[in-house]
A and B are shown apart, each in its own frame.
Chain A
């Protein structure tokens, strides 16, 4: 079934075009760096949602896999002069493979027990790197300095990072969207809803969990390559469990289980937390986190399915669709 290009696609393209134009008008590095962090968080959250949202295996150790990606690409860059572009492919397969292998015996655990195991793995990796001489131990690694270079993903200004992050988040979204609507996606969702049923109808839950882990952890490692290239300093601290939570929150707020949820969550949460930090932290330290937490609690209490969960059942969606259909000249069905 081929879709016609309608108003939805055109609107989306216009929005994308406008976003892409931002660095032309907003030159302030501060705003751009918030946007970069937003895209980065959204990408990592999207990657997380393949395992956490679609497959229902809540991982709280994704920061460790992100960190592994960052470490592998940095070590390759420093010791073998590997360009991060190649590292992207390397880390996807290496980290995806490692995590799928390590987590595969744990897929029989359900619910919070699985989450606990992922926390343990995250801590194990962090401790490993804290004590590994070759990887700079706890002191971390500083990426080499120098002039702007696209090959080495190294820029002095924010705009190139902005576009890199934008491309990353778009690709990540398209991939998640694609998986969401593919046969694989339906299998994953079946596993999430009821493992026993899945088994009964010929979907091997274990196999699909391995696949989801591979893709999800591999992709989050790719985000790690970007993180290392952007922040230019990595230490085992980036693997801490609270960093994992930063990937989970946008998905929870945006709506677990929908492809666009993590994206919307990140677009709301990251600027919000930065804004609160900038405005409140010097007046009343901690107030920003308090406000942030209250917003989180309210959303989760009243909209446990997140913003997308609300949207799917809202009149707003019907109205919006009607309006878009009208633009297309289609009749209301």
Chain B
């Protein structure tokens, strides 16, 4: 009987484990969690097509594209967001006649946030569903696994979100990247600091320090921060790394206080971000500038939990609601009742890139197949807006997959022109502050934290 009870307890524990998908403490989980969920109210729209499902006017043979995302597990929320972005783009495209009358159809695969199921699903998409191209995956680790499968089967693949720099250095012919890499994230964060110090003589930014978790991403942030600090003539005082999902960050904050950098660079998942902000407040540590890699700081729950304590904190992100995309942002909000964020905006854009490439093929009278699509993607250059679609809603105006090299790392078929925007919490709202020419407001300096 005792054995039976124990078996049942054990079984239940394991079942919950299975249900939860995977433990929420993966190292490469969430390649970059930059959910920019601005809480601004949507403006009442007078557009008659909003909120309604647009009817598809394309009736031909559908063109199949695979999308591989974590639809279950602890990253399911993020996966869902990207799914919205994709569906939204597909609906727009098909409502406008698709590609010469052929609609785009997305076949989803669920990676469960793990490499091995991701690989099997990728094989299903390619060999069973016979997709012409694939997009995904969210996490860098999973993308690493599935991109080699795509390469093996010679199916073009674009990743919208994976940021690990190494992904594009394997020389793959069929793998493309839209997302800004970790290097670019930290580069732009430093550029923002340098620009501000150049413009305002009262700001001295000579020393920096990093506070991040000790996972792959945190480590990369520290490495790149050191690199860019030296490049920009700043002194790197050191990094304070902690275990992800920390229960207490007091000693870390005291360490930071002792280092006392002019600018504090942080990269934390949302729960750690909240804890860090609160602990800093308790300990009375107020660095003059605190700049975060989007990640936890751009999640809605961050601002909800910290409130005014977040005021003055800067964060870099892939997308901010602005003039360029207000219409899309509003319609998206009405349809799904969540804000368009960095990830969904990128996923949305990738579908449009596919559309443009396929359209180019159709216009040139070429057959639509993986090989031609790959060649087209290698040469495609999209400036300002998509043909028959909206402007590029991301903070850059050109999309082109080029090869490059930086600090000994090869970047193949990466959108090297990508860049980020920096926002700041001011009066408990998210305001864009950098690049200066597109900024809503001036940077608050020093940060008030109240």
Which A residues are within 8 Å of any B CB, using their own CB? 28-30, 33-34, 37, 58, 111-112, 126-127, 130-131, 137-140, 142, 145, 156, 227, 231-233, 235-238, 240-242, 245, 248-249, 252, 256, 274, 277-278, 281-282, 285-286, 288-290, 292-293, 296-297, 300-301, 304
Contacts and interface: CB of A to CB of B under 8 A. Distances in A.
Given A139-B164, A285-B71, A237 B148 contact: no
23 contacts: A28-B127, A30-B124, A33-B119, A37-B116, A58-B10, A139-B141, A145-B170, A227-B116, A235-B141, A240-B22, A241-B17, A245-B18, A249-B18, A256-B7, A274-B120, A278-B124, A282-B108, A285-B110, A288-B72, A289-B19, A293-B19, A297-B11, A304-B11
B295 interface: no
B107 interface: yes
The 7 A-B residue pairs with the shortest CB-CB distance, nearest first, are A138-B216, A281-B110, A300-B11, A285-B71, A282-B108, A138-B27, A30-B124
B34 to A, nearest CB: 18
Given A231-B115, A281-B108, A282-B71, A137 B18 contact: no
Contacts of A304: 3-4, 7-8, 11
A233 B120 contact: no
Most chain A CB atoms below 10 A, which of B7, B25, B116, B220: B116
A286 B128 CA distance: 22
A95 to B, nearest CB: 20
B219 interface: yes
B14 A277 contact: no
Interface string B20-57: 11110111110000000000000000000000000000
B257 interface: no
Interface of B: 3-4, 6-8, 10-12, 14-15, 17-23, 25-29, 71-72, 76, 79-80, 107-110, 112, 114-117, 119-121, 123-124, 127-128, 140-141, 144-145, 148, 152, 164, 166, 170, 214-217, 219-220, 243
B128 A28 contact: yes
B128 A138 contact: no
A137 B219 contact: yes
B26 A289 contact: no
A236 B214 CA distance: 13
A156 B112 CA distance: 24
A165 to B, nearest CB: 13
A278 B72 CA distance: 12
Given A142-B166, A145-B148, A242-B23, 20 more contacts: A30-B123, A111-B6, A130-B215, A139-B141, A139-B164, A140-B141, A145-B170, A231-B115, A233-B141, A237-B27, A252-B7, A274-B117, A281-B110, A282-B108, A282-B110, A285-B80, A285-B110, A289-B19, A292-B18, A297-B12
A271 to B, nearest CB: 11
A233 B115 contact: yes
Contacts of B119: 33, 231
Contacts of A297: 11-12, 15
A240 B21 CA distance: 12
Say whether chain A's binding surface is mostly helix, strand, loop, or mixed: helix
Contacts of A145: 148, 170
A296 B18 contact: yes
A248 B14 contact: yes
A213 to B, nearest CB: 19
Contacts of B80: 285
B313 to A, nearest CB: 25
Contacts of B243: 127
Contacts of A28: 127-128
Nearest to B71: A285
Contacts of A232: 145, 148
B280 to A, nearest CB: 25
Contact of B128 (A30, A140, A285, A296): A30
Contacts of B26: 237, 240
Contact of B28 (A37, A138, A231): A138
Given A274-B120, A278-B124, A249 B110 contact: no
B1 to A, nearest CB: 10
A171 B18 CA distance: 29
Most chain B CB atoms below 10 A, which of A139, A142, A156: A139
A138 B215 contact: yes
Contacts of B12: 297
A289 B22 contact: no
A281 B72 contact: yes
